[in-house]
Amino acid sequence: MSSVTFSGVTKRFGTDVYAVRDLDLDVADGELLVVVGPSGCGKTTTLRMLAGLEDITAGEVKIGDQVVNDLSAKERDIAMVFQSYALYPHLTVGENLGYPLRLAKMPKQELRERVRTVAGQLQLDELLDRKPRQLSGGQRQRVAMGRAMVREPKVFLMDEPLSNLDAKLRVTMRSEVAELQHDLGTTMFYVTHDQVEAMTMGHRVALMRDGVLQQVAPPEELYRSPANTFVAGFIGSPPMNLVNARVATSDSGDRQLITGTAAFTIAGDTARPESALATIDERPVVAGFRPEHVRLDPAGTAGGAAATVRLVEMLGSEHLVHLNIDGMDLHGAPHDENAATSTRVLAKLHDDDTTVRLGDHVAVSIEARHVHLFDAATGERITDSTD
């Protein structure tokens, strides 16, 4: 096992196309770090630089205490699992598992013992004599993982390993991969575009955008304290509601979020010293609030923004309510000065709390402790909101 360190790592293609910019990232020994982000954010390029499959333009990559910039992939003692299973169709499961060890000229007895051990860990004992065509997608993925495991590498690299599986099987395999990594204790660098995979599997999650690391933190911290508006809008399903706003005080003394021509009363304690709501006044901000923190009251309730229910999605024990709030200035929405602004906010309600129906008129409010504030110019976080 080994730690991994990226120090000022940059990858440039040609003279002006940057895939990764000045990346500083540490992966602890035995940690499962998940790198997530939209397509083209640089996450796979980062993995390929760690693997030795991509040259580094600038900076330094270490595995343990060793700088590996100039080492070939086979010299780095890593094992990789990709989206494609890449199994040899003419070999059995056992032969596929043992293939890397045969290349390394491991003694046959030791090879057989290593294969049996890994097959047991992955519940492949009864499948060792089968060919890949006789296996399900999940079983093939286990074999691909096992082929990496038998080498007992310093670091596992996984690039979208579950993408070829159906939704139900992905849920099962997520937990299996996380449990396996915990049992082995091997450092794992896991790349995915799926934020659900990232949040459920990673000890920490690193979120990238346009080649730049936006935030790295444990999943709960990433969700509760996003570093900027991109993180806030990317993490969470459904995502955080983000509106262009200013904080003001009403004639009655209540603190309000003014967004466009709509106004939300911010319920709760806004005078806490640590709350930016206590100090920001009339300053342009981006305000964020999670769908589960939106409160719906009867239409006309004092302090609530008037809204109309446009859609109710039934999600088992929860309902996702789409709300139109006339005059609201949604962050990131195209602006047309000649058009009436009518934008949607999402609310997530538990089944027992759901009485709204399509077309209902309601009042929307948010508690102060659930409001996240970001600088309107930079998008950086300016509040320490807690849930």
| Strand positions, DSSP E, the chain | 4-13, 17-27, 32-36, 58-63, 66-67, 78-81, 155-159, 187-192, 204-209, 212-217, 241-249, 255-259, 262-267, 284-289, 294-298, 305-315, 318-326, 342-350, 361-367, 372-375
Half-sphere exposure for 131 (CA within 13 Å, toward CB): 5
Burial pattern 233-243, b for ≥16 Cβ within 10 A else e, equals bbbbeeebbbb
DSSP string, 193-238: S-HHHHHHH-SEEEEEETTEEEEEE-HHHHHHS-SBHHHHHHSSSS
Looking at residue 21, its amino acid is R
Q: Does domain 241-375 have CATH number 3.40.50.300?
A: no
Q: How far from the centroid of its chain's Cα atoms is residue 291's Cα?
A: 18
Question: How far is the C-alpha of 266 from the C-alpha of 366, rounded, in Å?
Answer: 6
Give pLDDT tens digits for 96-133: 999 999 998 999 999 999 999 999 988 899 999 999 99
Are 169 and 175 spatial neighbours (Cβ–Cβ below 8 Å)? no
Question: How far is the C-alpha of 193 from the C-alpha of 257, rounded, in Å?
Answer: 33
CB neighbours (10 Å) of residue 11? 22
Contacts of 350 by beta carbon, 8 Å cutoff, 6+ apart: 317, 318, 319
Question: How far is the C-alpha of 252 from the C-alpha of 263, rounded, in Å?
Answer: 14
Q: Which pLDDT score is estimated for 336?
A: 41
Question: How far is the C-alpha of 280 from the C-alpha of 302, rounded, in Å?
Answer: 23
Nearest Cα neighbor of 157 from 122, 201, 191 is 191
Q: What percent of the chain is helix, strand and coil (3-state, nearest 5)? A: 25, 35, 40
Q: Which pLDDT score is estimated for 342?
A: 41
Q: How far from the centroid of its chain's Cα atoms is residue 248's Cα?
A: 34
Q: What is the dihedral of CA 195, 200, 204, 210, to 10 degrees?
A: -10
Are 129 and 50 spatial neighbours (Cβ–Cβ below 8 Å)? no
Same fold, 4-234 and 241-375: no
Question: How far is the C-alpha of 2 from the C-alpha of 16, rounded, in Å?
Answer: 34
Which token pair is 215?
Answer: 């935030």
Pick out the chain residues at pLDDT < 70. 1, 267-279, 281, 332-343, 352-354, 383-387
Which token pair is 210?
Answer: 């346009």
Q: Which pLDDT score is estimated for 291?
A: 93
Task: Scan for tokens 């998008």, then name that residue.
Answer: 379
Q: Which pLDDT score is estimated for 255?
A: 73
Q: Which pLDDT score is estimated for 267?
A: 61
Give pLDDT tens digits for 148-180: 989 889 999 999 988 887 888 888 889 888 988
Half-sphere exposure for 115 (CA within 13 Å, toward CB): 23
Are 209 and 176 spatial neighbours (Cβ–Cβ below 8 Å)? no
Nearest Cα neighbor of 275 from 284, 262, 266, 264 is 266
Nearest Cα neighbor of 260 from 323, 336, 322, 311 is 336
Q: Which pLDDT score is estimated for 337?
A: 41
Query: Burial level of 332, CB count in 10 A (0-12/13-18/19+)?
Result: exposed
Q: Which pLDDT score is estimated for 365?
A: 85
Domain residue spans of the chain = 4-234, 241-375
Q: Tell me the CATH class for 4-234.
A: alpha beta
Contacts of 252 by beta carbon, 8 Å cutoff, 6+ apart: none
Which token pair is 214?
Answer: 């936006």
